[in-house]
Amino acid sequence: MVNGQELICQVDESDQMIGPCQRSDAHRLGLRHRAVHILVFNSEGELFLQKRSGTKDVNPGLWDTSAAGHVDFGESYGECARRELAEELGIESQAALEPLFKLEANGDTGWEFVQVYQAIHDGEISLEAGEIDEGRWFGLSELETWIARGGEGLTPSFQILWARFCGI
């Protein structure tokens, strides 16, 4: 942390490390940086989504992937994914997350290289107070209908990665 701001990884157009930067600078200046999103499914095939807190500076009150976050400086994508699962959902699993794909950094992703993971979880979920207003399991057909009707209430980043996940 510097001046109360978390330090994240600034990267070049090939996702090679340049050095640390403050999260607020990355977004304000449009610097390329790293993030993870995790899709948590249960054994019934439902996907857990979180509703972002209304106090968040980006996409407040919108439904988003199960867990997500910026990769801290000095942290790998995988380490970040495990940390975000524990912090946001209380899921502390030593099991390997399945990497699915990586989205390229561009204006649509907020200049984030986004590594997307998948996890299967049937246990308890404990939402991070102050970060998440609510969460629930969604059937895939329910999500498809929601998105087909315009996706109102879903974050743009979720819609982008869901389209890629579904091969659209």
Would the pLDDT of 83 be above 90?
yes
Instruction: Report pLDDT for 58.
Output: 82
In a domain, 5, yes or no: no
In a domain, 116, yes or no: yes
pTM of the full structure: 0.92
In a domain, 128, yes or no: yes
In a domain, 22, yes or no: no
In this prediction, what percent of the chain has a pLDDT beyond 70? 94
**pLDDT confidence tier of residue 113, bands split at 50, 70 and 90:** very high
The domain that holds 97 is classified in CATH as: 3.90.79.10
Better-scored residue on pLDDT, 138 or 3: 138
Would the pLDDT of 4 be above 90?
no
Range of the domain at 128: 34-166
Looking at the structure of the chain, the number of domains it has is: 1
Mean residue pLDDT across the chain: 92
Q: What is the pLDDT of residues 120-137, one digit of tens each?
A: 999 899 999 989 999 999
Report CA 123 to chain centroid distance, whole Å. 20
Q: What is the Cα–Cα distance from 165 to 162, expressed in whole angstroms?
A: 5
In a domain, 25, yes or no: no
